[in-house]
Amino acid sequence: MRSVTPPNGPTVRYLRVEPSSGPAWVRLAAAKTRVAPVKRLSLPRLELMGALIAARLVRYVHGALRLDIHSLSCWSDSEVTLAWIQSAANQWKPFVRNRVEEIQQLVEPTRWRHCPGKSNPADVLSRGAALQELSKNRRWWQGPGWLAEPPDAWPKRSGRSRKPF
């Protein structure tokens, strides 16, 4: 039986390539997760930590690959996290404020988009996938199917409020 305690923010980075002819393709570039913190955090704070790890990983992958990136999108399935990132950091208590400030310094807030929870490949890690299961998981290696589609076909934010609480 697998533990349902989520690790601290699993994150996955994909490269989406649009060749001059033919369809776009998507492949796993990097993934990172941490063990759950000793001090219990609320789920929104764990999701915020995941976004921070994602923002750091974006900068790492960009520096390591030295590719000319034409556009960047970061995704989170947490609308609370997205609302925090896309708002003024100074209105939050220190834990949230400090992380939001760093995320905003690493990745422009307008680059963050909502990923439906059912198509979030990082959830494969948070559910404790076995290595054999992971090796056969297409969504893990190629991202959600819609990511290879043109950006106007990507998921839109749901109609929920953008206010975190």
pTM higher than 0.85, yes or no?
no
Enumerate residues 6+ apart whose C-beta is below 8 A from 164.
44, 80, 83, 84, 87
Asked whether residue 92 is domain-assigned, the answer is yes
pLDDT at 1 over 50: no
pLDDT top residue among 3 and 157: 157
What is the total count of domains within the chain? 1
Residue 113 burial (C-beta neighbours within 10 Å; 0-12, 13-18, 19+): middle
For range 15-24, the mean pLDDT: 86
Euclidean distance between CA atoms 120 and 123, whole angstroms: 6
3-state secondary structure of 113: strand
Q: Are 113 and 75 in contact (CB under 8 A)?
A: yes
71: domain CATH number is 3.30.420
pLDDT top residue among 107 and 19: 107
Phi, psi at residue 88, to the nearest 5°? -70, 125
Asked whether residue 46 is domain-assigned, the answer is yes
pLDDT digits (tens, 9 = 90+) for 55-64: 999 998 888 8
Of 34-38, 51-55, 125-129, 160-164, the poorest mean pLDDT is in 160-164
- Which residues form the domain of 76? 8-145
Asked whether residue 57 is domain-assigned, the answer is yes
Q: Residues for the chain: how many in total?
A: 165
Q: What is the amino acid identity at position 136?
A: K
Q: What is the pLDDT of residue 3?
A: 34
For range 130-150, the mean pLDDT: 88
pLDDT at 120 over 80: yes
Cα R_g (the chain), whole angstroms: 16
Q: What percent of the chain has pLDDT over 90?
A: 39
Euclidean distance between CA atoms 103 and 84, whole angstroms: 10
Q: Give how far the C-alpha of residue 70 lies from the chain's centroid of Cα atoms, to the nearest Å.
A: 19
pLDDT at 161 over 70: no
For range 30-45, the mean pLDDT: 80
Asked whether residue 2 is domain-assigned, the answer is no
Euclidean distance between CA atoms 61 and 54, whole angstroms: 10
Using the structure block, give the residue that is written with the tokens 């998921």: 155
